[in-house]
Amino acid sequence: MIGAQILVTVALFLFAIRLLGGATNALTPSLEGVLDRVIVDGRSALGLSWIASYVVANGSIVAAVSLTLFESALVEPTQLFLMIVGSRLGGAAVVVFIGGFDYVNEEIESLRESMSLGILTVLLTHSIYLPAMVLGFLAMPRIRRADGHGHLFPDFEAPVPDVFSVLTDGLIATVGAGVAFLVAIGCILVSLRSFDHVLDRVDKERLRRRYISTLQDKWLSFGLGLVVTGLTTSVAFSLGVIVPLYNRGHVKRGEIVPFVLGANLGTLVDTLVVAVALNTSVGVLTVLTVLASGTVTSALALAYYAPYSRAIDGVQNRIIGNRSYFLGVLLSLLLVPILLIVLP
């Protein structure tokens, strides 16, 4: 039963990606004029994907849409790279806002307490992906838009059944490209949530007992976060395994940080799957560039873990303990991506 549900979920995800790609291609004439005014450079591309992650409360969907825009020649490789990074920055900040909703619903007494895990996630994500953005950006001039003579992998083919093309083309012709685009976004959300529902049946307590000793080694903890999140494509599942241990005092903050760093990289696996499903070799290479640069910066953070951990702890304690700093961080999370878009 679970196996059948997984197969249906994977099929729905692949169908949604193909539908998203087809709808984006059909909408290219309309989108081109809009995007030409909004995405004028790499900075605005970064800001747009960052703020879009807030709107849909999901960085993975924004990364998927970015890949379809690239496949339709609406954004350049460098802009795609920055949009994927922006989706990670925005996705991390969503955790902060979720904490705020918990406070509004009176599930947690203190606003700053409700957002403490979100602040930690933001600090970890920014401390890794901002340096990774600089590192990866240096490699981007080597990547060119595939235009018949610029393919990096000329024989690259994604083995997605043609039945999806028949279904997606028929749906686009029936309901129109705009509606099909929204349907594709909805199908991606449903498939991701369906997979989370399947994972809810996994015995998390057994996993906690099995891997609690692994968390005491920073490299093993990092690898575990990367593998679990990569295989399940679900941060909700991977953090659902580890966060209760942290909340109950079974693991220290210094032990959970490497796991979260690994999970941050593991979230790129579903983006890589989207690039493969769209059969875009440059898109695949761009995602791999983000993944590789993030791996390098994460490895450096772990190699110098003692000072890195102290710095993260110090900044988080300062933010949580000072009302002005706390409000400043919240405002910056809202204003920075907007300024990246609107500033000339």
Classify 148 in phi/psi space as left (phi over 0), alpha (psi -120 to 50) or beta.
left
Q: Which residues of 201-210 are buried (b: 16+ CB within 10 A; e: fewer)?
A: eeebeebbee
Kindly write down the DSSP assignment for every residue of 88-109, as one continuous string.
HHHHHHHHHHHHHHHHHTTSSS
Q: How does pLDDT run across 93-131, given as a tens digit for each residue?
A: 877 776 665 555 555 455 566 677 778 888 999 999 999
Q: What sign has the CA pseudo-torsion 290, 293, 299, 304?
A: negative
Asked if 77 contacts 63 with a C-beta cutoff of 8 angstroms, the reply is: no
For residue 178, the model assigns a pLDDT of 84
pLDDT at 246: 60
Give the H/E segment covering residue 212. Answer: none
Instruction: Report the alpha-carbon distance of residue 63 to residue 82 in Å, rounded.
Output: 10
Write down the pLDDT at residue 1.
62
Residue type, 126: H
**The pLDDT of residue 195 is above 80:** no
Residue 160 — pLDDT band, cuts 50, 70, 90? Answer: very low
Rounded Cα distance, 171 and 111, in Å: 45
Closest CA to 290 of 44, 85, 122, 127: 85
Segment 210-245, tens digit of pLDDT? 656 666 788 888 988 888 777 766 565 566 556 655
More confident residue, 149 or 221: 221
pLDDT of 156 higher than 60 = no
Encoded tokens for 12: 């729905």
- Reduced to 3 states, what is the DSSP secondary structure of residue 279? coil
Question: 285 pLDDT exceeds 70?
Answer: yes
| Predicted local distance difference test score (pLDDT) of residue 149 | 34
Q: Token pair for residue 184?
A: 């594709």
Read off the amino acid at residue 200.
D
Task: Give the Cα separation of 237 and 1 in Å (integer).
Answer: 20
Here the tokens at position 103 are 């406070």
Q: Please state, in angstroms and as integers, the Cα–Cα distance from residue 274 to each residue in 13, 60, 71, 74, 196, following that order.
A: 9, 10, 11, 17, 18
Highest mean pLDDT among 60-74, 151-165, 293-307: 293-307
Confidence of residue 55 (pLDDT cuts 50, 70, 90): confident
Digit-coded pLDDT (tens) for 56-101? 777 888 888 899 889 888 888 999 999 999 999 988 887 777 666 5
